[in-house]
Amino acid sequence: MTTESLLILVPAVLVVALLYSIVGHAGASGYIAVMALVGMSPAAIKPTALILNIVVASIGSFQFWNAGHFSWRLFWPFALLSIPCAFLGGYISLPTRGFRIVVGLVLLFSAVRFFIHPREVSDLRMPGVAKALPVGAGLGLLAGLTGTGGGIFLTPLIILMRWATTKTAAAVSAWFILVNSAAGLVGNFSATHQFPGPAIPLVMAVVAGGALGSYLGSRRFAPEVIKRLLAIVLTIAGFNLLFTQ
């Protein structure tokens, strides 16, 4: 990684980590976009994004848990099958252009919903285990295939289905991203036998951005603000899936 690339990447990943961590995400889709812009190889982009994801998701998981927003009862059914499926998605490499277009459009649709209807809902109904298990498996596979932790799919789903409040959705998604990013990274390494270590400045940048963002999201910002920011995150992720290879 050249000095010129780092001068672009360091502030970019810091901003991505800050914005994404406010809503309980770790920023993989944003990292992928900026790394592609500076010309990093596709083989290096996916594992590097997952490593940075693990760092930010670890911070976010602790912050949202410490603030009292995490729900184990909601988390474990989604996570149980998502972990092996994320490993599988990280292991395989498919020509997924059409798949990425469909997923990108779904994310953009969700973003519009949160821009239009940012208010918190009160009539919540937690999903049953029989429903959450296959949903988690599918989201884990998506996470591994796209090189993300799956939070960009899980958070809007939880909120739109009224399975939890906005901050609980963010907390559960942070932990979901953590376990699935780790599984996806192991799967990618098993397939490629390569483990590109990200530059220390990138790690330091996402630590700073993730710490501040997850603090603001878990303790300072109102749910309506988080939904507006989530809409921005989903828009970035959607366009990334649509227009990057």
Counts for the chain of helices (H) and strands (E), in that order: 10, 0
When pLDDT is cut at 50, 70 and 90, the band that residue 148 belongs to is: confident
pLDDT at 96: 61
Q: Residue 170 above 70 pLDDT?
A: yes
Tens-digit pLDDT profile for residues 194-228 = 777 767 899 999 999 999 999 999 999 999 999 99
Q: How far apart are CA 13 and CA 2, in angstroms?
A: 16
Q: How far apart are CA 37 and CA 31, in angstroms?
A: 10
pLDDT at 245: 61
pLDDT at 101: 81
Tens-digit pLDDT profile for residues 78-91 = 999 999 998 988 88
Average pLDDT, the chain: 89
b/e 6-29 (16+ beta carbons within 10 angstroms → b): beebeebbbebbbbbbbbbbbbbb
Tens-digit pLDDT profile for residues 28-80 = 889 988 998 888 887 788 889 889 999 999 999 999 999 999 999 999 999 99
pLDDT higher for 65 or 152? 65
pLDDT at 22: 96
Q: Which of 76, 75, 239, 81 is nearest to 170 (CA)?
A: 75
pLDDT at 225: 94
Q: How far apart are CA 78 and CA 75, in angstroms?
A: 6
